[in-house]
Amino acid sequence: MSALQRSFRELLRYPSAIVGLIIIAGLLILSAYTLITIPYREAIRLWRGGEEVWYQNPKNAGPTWFNYFTRRKLSESMILSSKEGLGKTISQDSQGNNRIVISFPIDYSFDTFPLDLSIYFTSVYQDKPPHVSITWLTPDGREIRIGDFSVKRTQTFRLAQDSKLLRRLGGQSPEKGLFAKPNVSPPVPLKGEYELRIEGFTFEPNSDVDAEFVVYGQLHGLAGTDHLRRDLTVALLWGTPVALAFGLLAALGTTITTMVIAAFGVWFGGWVDEIIQRITEINLVLPFLPILIMVSTFYSRSIWVILGVTIVLSIFGGAIKTYRAVFLQVKESPYIEAARAYGASNLRIIFAYLTPRIIPMLIPQLVVLIPSFVFLEASLAVLGLGDPVLPTWGKIINDAQANGALYQGYYYWVLEPAALLIITGLAFAMLGFSLDRIFNPRLRGL
């Protein structure tokens, strides 16, 4: 134990190792948080969901923190719903009919107009649908009638598609006309407190009406949205455990099997060793990436199948020769002789005496390997061969590429997953390089 502690204390002398460790710890916490708050099924439901899940989000909206860096504040998304009782008052008239007033206050302090406005109605009734009339109150005291109609059980009212409203606003589309300063051209938004007032009349005892007002802004949420209105935070969060799991499992699986196989080859020698050497050479001929591409195109795109194939193809990689060279030296050590003399079995010698000697060499390699596998998964996803179900960082980049994010200026769409990828890669690489210098005495001080 003390050796381990000593190594750890030595590790803390390298600033890059400390930074790496902190980032890795942060990523692990983020993964745990993700797995707890968004369970697997929920993540898939959200990521595979269409309009019915994401109707409240604008398309291709940037992240809201964008506004911290610009003087011109872009419009942010707002969702106001009366279902939680927001701004809803109910009064009864003499005939037993309900008069429902829903009043949404909107504090608008942005320099650009929203992209779109919609009101989603839900109502409860037997035969006679409720009737609503909608008015818009501006900060400078104007009152604009938006519309009167009766609402069905679920009804979507898109303001931009209402031709009467369009005419009333002098030909300006509602998302501009409602927020614009009067008689200014080109139109600029008027900042201040707006109010959307919905008056509903129900004609049955248990009838009710609810409304949800969605202002689609240019910015939405912590991470923005993609072309399918999906909130990118889901995929960014879920990408973390997937990337870490893939990287860790692939690196662990590869290095440990390689080590064990190299140890067996050296210990038993002869034809066992010969076969292992030949397989290594054949493996060199096999095209690694094309085979992975073939497997994911022909057989399965499940991330776990890809993980398995990656491990199988990497086992007989170059590392086997390095380990073999070390084992060949260790095999001749006196303590192995001693073990043989007291009658230790082959397996005991391999696992208790041979393999532990290589662990110091193995750990740095393992840590350095992790980012390459994380990026491998992302690479496959960028080629469009990512796991069809799970949201991952690479798939976000692939979506962004496929929809021309860079051409159209949706930089956040590429930069967010890319930033997470490079942070993860750098963290493991920095830790691994420091470990290499500690465990590899030839590199000490270089």
By beta-carbon proximity to another protein, the closer residue of 61 and 368 is 368
413 binds another protein (CB under 8 A): no
> In 3D, which of 176, 121, 166 has the Cα closest to residue 146?
166
> Sheet holding 208-216: strands in order across?
78-81, 208-216, 116-124, 154-158
Per the listing, tokens 């750098």 go with 426
Rounded CA separation 298/240 (Å) = 27
- How far is the CA of 52 from the CAs of 47, 114, 129, 167, in angstroms? 12, 21, 23, 31
| CB of residue 255 to another protein, shortest distance in Å | 13
Rule CB under 8 A: choose which of 53, 101, 137, 418 binds another protein: 418
| CB of residue 368 to another protein, shortest distance in Å | 8
342 binds another protein (CB under 8 A): no
DSSP-derived secondary structure for 278-307: HHHHHHHHS-HHHHHHHIIIII---HHHHH
Residue range at the interface with another protein (CB under 8 A); choices 4-12, 67-75, 352-360, 374-382: 374-382
Rule CB under 8 A: choose which of 43, 266, 315, 429 binds another protein: 429
Residues 202-221 touching another protein, rule: CB under 8 A, are none
Work out the end-to-end distance of the chain between its first and last CA atoms, rounded to an integer number of angstroms.
Answer: 27
| CB of residue 420 to another protein, shortest distance in Å | 12
How far is residue 283 CA from its own chain's centroid? Answer: 34
Residues 13-32 touching another protein, rule: CB under 8 A, are 16
Rounded CA separation 2/265 (Å) = 32
364 binds another protein (CB under 8 A): no
Rule CB under 8 A: choose which of 280, 310, 355, 392 binds another protein: 280
| CB of residue 113 to another protein, shortest distance in Å | 25
- Helices first, then strands: H and E counts in the chain: 17, 9
Rounded CA separation 404/141 (Å) = 43
Residue range at the interface with another protein (CB under 8 A); choices 26-34, 43-51, 97-105, 429-437: 429-437
- How far is the CA of 153 from the CAs of 112, 159, 199, 210, 326, in angstroms? 34, 19, 17, 10, 75
User: 202 by DSSP, 3-state: which?
Assistant: strand
By beta-carbon proximity to another protein, the closer residue of 150 and 300 is 300
| CB of residue 338 to another protein, shortest distance in Å | 26
409 binds another protein (CB under 8 A): yes
DSSP-derived secondary structure for 10-50: HHTT-HHHHHHHHHHHHHHHHHHHHHHHS-HHHHHHHHH--
406 binds another protein (CB under 8 A): yes
Residues 281-340 touching another protein, rule: CB under 8 A, are 281-282, 284-291, 293-295, 297-299, 314, 317-319, 321-322, 325
Amino acid at 42: E
Q: Using CB under 8 A, list all residues that contact another protein.
A: 16, 278, 280-282, 284-291, 293-295, 297-299, 314, 317-319, 321-322, 325, 368, 371-372, 375, 378-379, 382-383, 397, 401, 406-407, 409, 411, 414-415, 418, 421-422, 425-426, 428-430, 432-433, 442-443, 446
